Amino acid sequence: MYNQNQNNQSQQFNQDKVFSKMLKAGSKNYFFDVKKASNGSNYLTITDSYKNKEGQSVTNRTMIFKDHIQGFIETLAEASIHLQ
């Protein structure tokens, strides 16, 4: 029964995922996942993953909802100008 629940959860997760891509950048991995919410709206999660000095895995996740994405993209582009 436990394995069946795991399989059901895995199938549900895969059905909810619309897009997924990983970016390896130095010692960090970034995961960009577009998922479908229970209300049918898509949202973006950006997760960064790395190992700290003690060798423990650390992950940070940010969720960006559909109605916030345009402002997020504009602000990211503006901030990126100051990286040059």
SS3 content of the chain, % helix, strand, coil (to 5): 35, 45, 20
Structural domains counted in the chain: 1
- For residue 6, give the CATH number of its domain: 3.10.450.700
Q: How confident is the model at residue 12 (pLDDT cuts 50, 70, 90)?
A: low
- 24-48 pLDDT, tens digit per residue, is 999 999 999 999 998 999 999 999 9
Q: Is the pLDDT of residue 3 over 70?
A: no
Q: Which range marks the domain in which residue 10 is found?
A: 2-81
Predicted structure pTM score: 0.76
